[in-house]
Structure 1
Amino acid sequence: MSTRRKKIYEGHGKILYEGPEPGTLVQYFKDDASAYNNAKRAVLEGKGVLNNRISEYFMTRLNTIGVQNHFIRRLNLREQLIRELEIIPLQVVVRNAAAGSLSQRFGLPEGQPLPRSIIEFYLKDEKLGNPMVTEEHITAFNWASTQEIDDMMALSLRVNDFLNGAFGAVGISLIDFRVEFGRLWENDFSRVVLADEISPDNCRLWDTQTREKLDLDRFRRDLGDAIEGYAEIARRLGIMKEMPTVIQGGLH
């Protein structure tokens, strides 16, 4: 279907195409994986199919608890219909335990619980290495208003509460995650809406008992079959039984 549509944007993990009606886009999930600002790349067979299902699972449930997002419905194995938003050029990272750059910056052991959840903002600009920014930078350069910053923080904490509960119930610890937001315009008013995806591509997920990593860190750090971690998450969430047999067959 998407081959005939106009491509709007292509990132590492997804392609956005023109949607079937005004105000919509088609989001296509690729198998491409990248890390360290694209210095490390590979194709992980089946990743796009798994991420499409996992993101659908969470976006649908977030909508039902009042966290409005861009997801409308899944179209097929790799595509979703989404609302077109004016993307705010920030990545919002919520951290529950030390890992990745936070561990490196402050010399904290990976997995050490934080005194409270920490929210960080990063400028969405790969050429600059997605630098960390403060609220001062955000308002000074007009990337978002003070009200939008408040909205993004409040929504991110709600998403964190929800994901912590959902993953915790199936024996997975949510170490941290990254989300993006956009403006949904209605006449002259806009509201902040959750965008992008929620998947092992942008969440750090550890098995609560063994502390085994089940996310993109498996690929980043060469910890073995990355897709097996993604598939394990889908299995625990009860999504795996709906997965095509090709994926199931190739993952045991």
Structure 2
Amino acid sequence: MPAPHLLLVEDEPRMAAFLLAGLEEEGYRVRWVDRGLPALEAVGREPFDAVLLDVRLPDLDGVEVCRRLRLHHPALPILMLTALDAVEDRVRGLRSGADDYLPKPFAFEELLARVEALLRRARTAPALSELTDEPLRLDLTARTCTVGGRPLDLTPREFDLLAYFLARPGQVLSRDEIHRDVWGHDFDRGTNLIDVYVGYVRRKLQEAGCPDRLQTVRGLGYRYVPVSASLHDDTA
């Protein structure tokens, strides 16, 4: 069995060198990057078994990196590392999709134990590779969408938006939440871009013969109503 492959995202050279040397001595293969955007690019190019992610990065905030990673790689274990240890900081990191949170300074032995625990859970947990609500299917690995077995052409952003809704059936999602989790911080809140993209997705689903399950919740945002729920709800 090959050694687990880790991505270390840490902008402080001394800390990175310490972790890199220690992890490699323990038998891990480690790729190190010092910023958020190269981290996203690295995960897009090669498979990793887990990510060790610092919060304070010079380009993208680590929480934002975590949100983007989680959106495209829902099963990838993420351990956040940070000097910030306030409760709200831990909550913010975990809500962004991190699996665990380790404040600095920490003992290297504790880091190892947490990485081992993440990898153990990942090996025993079923990987989420598909989202379905018949006749709609999204393959998260291949990033393809089909309706009744027929391909549906979606742009990358449309795919991200539909996957975001499909993974949260029945939840009312505010425009701020959608902005934060799908678009990240590179988004102008003064525009109606979210409404426009919801319209694009609705139209494509309808043209493909898939019932429109994206509901507008007046004054709040949107929610995806799955087939199983709509069968028991005459108002859907």
More helix by share: 2
TM-score after normalising by structure 2:
0.29
Choose between structure 1 and 2: higher strand proportion.
Answer: 1
Q: Which structure's CA Rg is the greater one?
A: 2
